[in-house]
Amino acid sequence: MRIATETGLFFMRKMRENLRQPMWVIANLMTPLLYILLFSPLLANIANPPLSMAGVLNSFVPGILTLLAFSSGMGAGWTMVWELQSGVTERLRVTPASRFAMLLGGVLADIVNFLVPSILVILISLACGFSVHLLGLVILLFLLCLLTAMVSACSSSLGLIFKQISSVAAVVTSLQLPLTLLSGVLLPISLGPLSLRVVAHFNPMYYTVEASRQLAAGTLASSQTLIAFVVIVPLLALALWWATRVYQKAVH
Amino acid sequence: MVYAIEAHDLRKSFPLKVRKRAGASGVGDTGGAEGAEGAGGDAIAASVEAVRGVTLYVAAGEVFGFLGPNGAGKTTCQRMLTTLLSIDSGSAQVAGYDVSKNPHEVRQQIGYISQLGGADLPATGRENLRLTGRLYGLAPRQVEQKIAQLSRLLSLDELLDRKVRTYSGGQKRRLEIALGIIHEPQVLFMDEPTTGLDPQNRLSLWQHISKLREGGMTIFLTTHYLDEADQLADRLAIIDHGQIVAEGTPAALKGQVKNAQGQQPTLDDVFFEKTGRSLRDISWEDEK
């Protein structure tokens, strides 16, 4: 019970911090909107005959949500470095509060940072012709929340290990592009040669993108969805365990 | 004798980054360095022993000063005593609990104000205090009472609802002290409490620390300022290169030495006598 209270306290702390940085909130919203407005029209003419806007959105929006899930979690490392350098981490670590709660509070705040722009993206896409299965969408968002949590925990660990914003930023952003390309977010991996398709299977995001297309289309029970959960849940547990362990020892 | 802090033969080493140096040996002059040449002879994996067998006792209600230059191992010692760093060898008890075996109990009994402070800058003073109070298990109503009390003690009144980002150095320090004592710890650790403050704020902070001592709190403070140790500490230990080189009341330590110019001996004379160096000179170099 104590751990839940503490998690709540750390979550509220992060949320207040986020709301005080409106520029970040806006920046977070812009990326997915730009993809939809500036990139998805290009996809329409790839196929012959050209796809309708609705057709494009149906295959593209689930991927965009995955992209958003990743980028919402990846900033956690920056914050960790900042808190380490300013002594916040040490101050919190001398309190008897649970270290897992300290970490989880931030992870949950990142999940909110993912959900709010996601819902906005979905609403705008719906207005442009995107059709989605409601229950499928709920399961899809849940799966992607787990992805955000996993990325957030990993980024936190990296921040505490490297202890420098420039290093974490370099590592995380250099992972972001290959993971994005190899997940089939922008174009389906099935278009690629065998080697690319094989490498993609080592990318956790590939499974969430595959599952999210099924779920958005309303196929609730598919092997893709099952596999995505089987991949993400243990990875998330591992990432949280790792991050808590690193956090327990972090000093400036 | 009831001790608030007991440490026996504390030791701590840190790995040094593997550096490529052709045929080099020796790894700086901080603490005792052990070098080992790797295969090929150009990579040196080494560790620095930052704390080399520190034994100390602090009585309940005492203000204990830990004096030494930057890089002497003060902060490392304090981080071990406050559960922030693991202890390589030796043992320590704080407020009656073993630091390695019962870190959770130790954390409930201590306050720690690091050199960096660590208040949340985007939050207000009140929000900082509320969070910290709740983390120590105080009920919301108790927290509000404590905030009112601390605000009187540390003159925080007009600061509470401002963001910490807008505070001056001295104001931020006072808030951080409030954060460190909101749960009425038995033992308060302070790391270089007045570093970065102007003389006026230092003086005011010294008065606040004296008030805490009058309330019966045991205070363990590290400093590299001679006058601060002299002014505040009932007893002090001088640490250099990870080892305690002298210990006693400021008066007793000064009684052991003579001043070179024939004036009243100072703690710097004590430091010079024990280490062959002057703390005034080496404090300039930030060896940390």
In a domain, B242, yes or no: yes
Higher pLDDT, A217 or A228: A228
Tell me: the pLDDT tens digits for A77-131? 999 999 999 999 999 999 999 999 999 999 999 999 999 989 989 998 998 888 8
Does residue A165 contact residue A79 with C-beta atoms inside 8 Å?
no
Number of domains within chain B: 1
pLDDT of res. A217: 86
Tell me the C-alpha to C-alpha distance, in Å, between residue B272 and each of A169, B238, B240, B263: 46, 11, 11, 15
Size of interface A-B (CB pairs under 8 A): 72
Separation between Cα atoms, residue B160 and residue B180, nearest integer Å: 16
- For residue A238, report the phi and psi dihedrals to the nearest 5 degrees: -65, -45
Q: Indicate the residue of B117, B127, B136 with minimum beta-carbon distance to A95.
A: B136
Residue ranges covered by each domain of chain A? 2-249
Read off the tokens for A120.
């906005």
Is the N-terminal amide bond of B69 cis, ω within 30° of 0?
no
How far is the alpha carbon of B28 from chain A, nearest alpha carbon, in Å?
A: 21
Among the residue ranges A25-29, A140-144, A146-150, A179-183, the one predicted with the least confidence is: A25-29
Residue percentage of chain A with pLDDT more than 70: 100
Element (H, E) at B247: strand B243-248
Does residue A42 contact residue A122 with C-beta atoms inside 8 Å?
no
The DSSP bridge pattern shows strands B243-248 and B235-240 to be antiparallel
Tell me: the pLDDT tens digits for A168-199? 999 998 999 899 889 988 777 888 899 988 99
B118 to A90: CB separation less than 8 angstroms, yes or no: yes
Q: Supply the range of the domain harboring residue B252.
A: 3-282
In a domain, B65, yes or no: yes
User: Which chain A residues contact residue B179 at CB under 8 A?
Assistant: 91
CATH number of the domain that residue B156 is part of: 3.40.50.300
pTM for this structure?
Answer: 0.88
Q: What are the percentages of helix, strand and coil residues in chain B, rounded to 5?
A: 35, 30, 35
Per-residue confidence in pLDDT tens, chain B, 288 aa: 679 999 999 999 988 765 555 444 433 334 444 444 344 444 555 788 899 999 999 999 999 999 988 888 999 999 999 999 999 999 999 999 999 999 999 999 999 999 888 999 999 999 999 999 999 999 999 999 999 999 998 889 999 999 999 999 899 999 999 999 999 999 999 999 888 888 888 898 899 888 888 988 999 999 888 888 888 999 999 999 999 999 999 999 988 888 777 788 888 888 888 888 787 766 554 443
Read off the tokens for B272.
């010079």
Among B79, B84, B104, pick the best mutation site for testing chain A contact (most A Cβ within 10 A).
B84
A95 to B85: CB separation less than 8 angstroms, yes or no: no
Write down the mean pLDDT value for chain A: 90
Count other Cβ atoms within 10 Å, centred on residue B155: 13
Tell me the C-alpha to C-alpha distance, in Å, between residue A99 and each of A246, A249, B101, B104, B143: 10, 10, 17, 11, 22
How far is the alpha carbon of A143 from chain B, nearest alpha carbon, in Å?
A: 31
Tell me the C-alpha to C-alpha distance, in Å, between residue A85 and each of A81, A89, A91, A250, B267: 6, 8, 11, 11, 32
In a domain, B287, yes or no: no
